[in-house]
Amino acid sequence: MLVRYLSQIGKYFLMLKEVFNKPTKWSVMRGLIFKEIDDLVIDSLGIVAFISFFVGGVVAIQTALNLTNPLIPKYLIGFATRQSVILEFAPTFISIIMAGKMGSFITSSIGTMRVTEQIDALEVMGVNSLNYLVFPKIIALLLYPFVIGIAMFLGILGGWMAGVYGGFTSSVEFIQGIQTEFIPFHIAYAFIKTIMFALILATIPSFHGYYMKGGALEVGKASTVAFVWTSVIIILVNYILTQLLLTN
Amino acid sequence: MIEVKNVEKSFGESKVLKGITTTFETGKTNLIIGQSGSGKTVLLKSLLGIFTPDVGTISFDGRIYSDLTSDEKRELRTEIGMVFQGSALFDSMTVEENVGFPLKMFTTKSAAEIRDRVNVVIQRVNLVDANHKKPSEISGGMQKRVAIARAIVNNPKYLFCDEPNSGLDPKTAIVIDNLIMEITQEYNITTVINTHDMNSVMEIGEKIIFLKNGILAWEGTKKDIFKTDNEAIVDFVYSSNLFKKIRKAQNKDL
Ligand SMILES: Nc1ncnc2c1ncn2[C@@H]1O[C@H](COP(=O)(O)OP(=O)(O)OP(=O)(O)O)[C@@H](O)[C@H]1O
Ligand SMILES: [Mg+2]
């Protein structure tokens, strides 16, 4: 069991090495990158915006409802919303959702190419299929921090709207809360996490699609397995980075 | 000419290819036949370099594959065209883009030159009105034609086809077989075809090797196949009732 996991991990890193080997012609690669930006990044904006806005609102309402003690200042609603959205909700929670959305798309599209011999066709022609398929996804997901930036903004906006229009706080108090004890490093921490998650989102689903065996049914199974592993790794990396960057 | 010398290949305990030695000739359609599981695909993939033989050598007009540097291997691969069993067309691309793909990847041709060449081969395989369609929008027979067009677009010296007519009706299958044979002769290509279809054998079997359990059990031409006394091949050929009837009829004539 352990040996199997270790050999999978080894295989994963060998795959990464091969991704950066023997690059595809730039004129072809450019088109691939734009296509991935469209499929992975642009296509996710809608759902990310929707979820962020409403979850931001819920965070604000929950905080407000828990502040029953009149001695606790109202600006804490804005403060709590900002902290939870920027530190955890936008980078981690959205990435788990993206593990489902982008991840299953990546695994199933690469997996389908595997079972229909399209990957063999690339290799036989002399194309480095890993570079051809995975590299543009990694590059496209360099834009992932922008997605998370949007999620942060809309999450806080959602919190503000829910707080103000729900009658839980005033706009002034909320904005005061957003600015309270602002630590710039928290933003850096959030984006360091985001970049790591972007790499995980691009490569782990690719790994499961690329090395899958079997037919159409197995493509579905591989997508599920890839989602589980991508989420697990995101959660573990989140824990490790938080331990490393925020404690001491 | 492709020379195969004493090629062996095992997966774990099971030996799939057992000392295969043969040659595939230039300008001819060379057929690998045998029952399901006899090792045809493994042999073809070994020729293509997708599998590496455990022992033995494969040489392409004198170039021994295992002795080539990785650059030379890549170079050789651009001389190879392959038609996969399921066509393996890129489903995100149109027919035209599929056919032009090897040119776009491996030549410095301009977009206009690529378009011209693509149109030539698309006409050569008799595809009409399909240039801008996606593979999912055309029939299986048309997909095979696209796959053949893509395989020959970069003027390959070697053409490999894994069961090119599986899943096609007998009439279309013969059309596809003949197309491959014509192209082979026209461009003097070394063509290797994997099949278990006796119709193909009778149509285009210029050189046939017969695999049984990973052993090369017989080789010859389509004419030889009815004269041989080799039990294994007789058994394989006459497992089809159609051919049993033909043989009976022939025996009556004699
Ligand atoms: N990648 C692989 N790993 C392990 N065993 C394999 C692999 N590929 C093929 N084999 C085994 O090799 C044997 C020959 O398989 P092969 O695919 O060459 O048969 P085939 O003659 O092409 O059959 P078919 O006509 O059904 O395509 C089979 O027993 C198969 O299980
Ligand atoms: Mg086969």
| Terminal Cα-to-Cα distance of chain A (whole angstroms) | 36
- The reported pLDDT for the residue numbered B254 is 56
- The reported pLDDT for the residue numbered B244 is 66
Task: State whether residue A18 sits within 8 Å of chain B by CB.
Answer: no
The phi and psi torsions of A83 (rounded to 5 degrees) equal -60, -50
Print pLDDT tens along chain B (254 aa): 999 999 999 998 899 999 999 999 999 999 999 988 899 999 999 999 888 999 999 999 999 999 998 888 888 988 999 999 888 999 999 999 999 999 999 888 999 999 999 999 999 888 888 999 999 999 988 999 999 999 999 989 999 999 988 778 888 888 889 889 998 999 999 999 999 888 888 888 899 999 999 999 999 988 888 788 888 888 887 776 666 677 667 766 65
- The band of A110, judged by pLDDT with boundaries at 50, 70 and 90, is very high
Structure tokens that stand for A147 in this block: 């997605």
With beta carbons less than 8 A apart as the criterion, state whether A108 and A206 touch: no
- Probe site for chain A from B51, B90, B97, B105 (most A CB atoms < 10 A): B105
Q: What is the mean pLDDT of the segment spanning A189-205?
A: 96
Domains along the sequence of chain B with CATH = 2-79+157-253 (3.40.50.300), 89-155 (no CATH)
Burial (CB count <10 Å: 0-12, 13-18, 19+), residue A71: exposed
Q: CB of B39 closer than 6 A to ligand 1?
A: yes
pTM, rounded to two decimals: 0.87
Q: CA-CA distance, A242 to A239, in Å (whole number)? A: 5
Query: For a substitution probing ligand 1, which of B40, B166, B236 has the most ligand atoms within 8 Å of its CB?
Result: B40
Would the pLDDT of A129 be above 70? yes
- The reported pLDDT for the residue numbered B70 is 82
Q: CA-CA distance, A96 to A192, in Å (whole number)? A: 16
The sign of the CA dihedral A97, A237, A202, A90 is positive
- The reported pLDDT for the residue numbered A248 is 66
- The reported pLDDT for the residue numbered A93 is 95
Q: CA-CA distance, B220 to B218, in Å (whole number)? A: 7
How do the residues of chain B divide into helix, strand and coil, expressed in percent and rounded to 5?
Answer: 45, 25, 30
- The reported pLDDT for the residue numbered B140 is 87
How many A×B Cβ pairs under 8 Å? 47
In chain A, the residue whose alpha carbon lies closest to the alpha carbon of B72 is A126
Would the pLDDT of A107 be above 70? yes
- Probe site for chain B from A109, A117, A219 (most B CB atoms < 10 A): A117
Phi-psi region of B62 (alpha: psi -120 to 50; beta: other; left: phi over 0): left
- The band of A86, judged by pLDDT with boundaries at 50, 70 and 90, is very high
In chain B, the residue whose alpha carbon lies closest to the alpha carbon of A128 is B74
Q: What is the mean pLDDT of the segment spanning A106-125?
A: 94
Half-sphere exposure of B139 (CA within 13 A, CB side): 9
- The reported pLDDT for the residue numbered B200 is 84
Greatest Cα-to-Cα distance within chain B, rounded to the nearest angstrom: 62
Q: Domain boundaries in chain A?
A: 27-243
Q: CA-CA distance, A212 to B174, in Å (whole number)? A: 34
- The band of A192, judged by pLDDT with boundaries at 50, 70 and 90, is very high
- The reported pLDDT for the residue numbered B169 is 83
Neighbours of B133 (CB within 10 A): 15
Are the Cβ atoms of A125 and B78 closer than 8 angstroms? yes
Per-position DSSP letters for B80-92, written without gaps between them: EEEE-TT----TT
Per-position DSSP letters for B129-171, written without gaps between them: S-TT--GGGS-HHHHHHHHHHHHHTT--SEEEEESTTTTS-HH
B150 pairs with which residues across the strands?
A: none
Q: Whose CA is nearest to atom 29 of ligand 1?
A: B37
Beta strands at B55-60 and B63-64: parallel, antiparallel or unpaired: antiparallel
Structure tokens that stand for A158 in this block: 């959602």
Chain A residues close to B106, C-beta within 8 Å: 125-126
